[in-house]
Amino acid sequence: MYLIEEVHPVTGKTVHIVAAVESAAVGKAAYEAACIHYPNAHITLRNDNRIIASRPN
């Protein structure tokens, strides 16, 4: 399961889950869309406990 989450910049805790998908390709596309839709948010793409992408870095 790939999760696209908005994460609190100080605590690192999930503010809300933007999307949850099974496919890596769909997860990457949803992550990129979330980064555009929420330009000031800390967005992560993760698979289980592994962070695949994060913005801001």
Q: Is the pLDDT of residue 23 over 70?
A: yes
Q: Percent of the chain scored above 90 by pLDDT? A: 89
Which domain does 11 fall in, by range?
A: 2-55
Structure tokens at 1: 């399961």
Q: Is the pLDDT of residue 22 over 90?
A: yes
Domain count, the chain: 1
State pLDDT tens for residues 28-46: 999 999 999 999 999 999 9
Does the pTM surpass 0.85? The reply is yes
